[in-house]
Amino acid sequence: MAKLTQKTPFEEAMRRLEQIAEQMESGEISLEEAVDRYEEASALVAHCRSKLEHAEQRIRVVQQNADGTVRTEPMAGTGDDATDESQ
């Protein structure tokens, strides 16, 4: 994989993680290569987590209450409580 940057797409990082997992599970790489892959995978996991957190922030549903206040609701399954904010 090319050098990991903020612009690296989530899907590309996930594909690389899958490749690394396959390589490590095969048992056909040296210990040194396995350690290198582990380090790369750790960086990829952090990158993917960051991308997912950013996506979650963008997906939050913004709804307007009858009294004109704006309420944001977290994406389903996050366990966060809804937050009320005055408009």
Q: What is the pLDDT of residue 66?
A: 74
pLDDT tens digits for range 13-61: 999 999 999 999 999 999 999 999 999 999 999 999 999 998 887 777 6
Cα(38)–Cα(9) distance, integer angstroms? 20
Q: Between 71 and 49, whose confidence is greater? A: 49
Q: How many angstroms separate the CA atoms of 83 and 75, rounded?
A: 12
83 close to 71: Cβ distance less than 8 angstroms: yes
Residue type, 62: V
pLDDT of residue 85: 45
74-84 pLDDT per residue, tens: 766 655 544 44
pLDDT value of residue 86: 44
CA–CA separation, 73 vs 11, rounded Å? Answer: 26
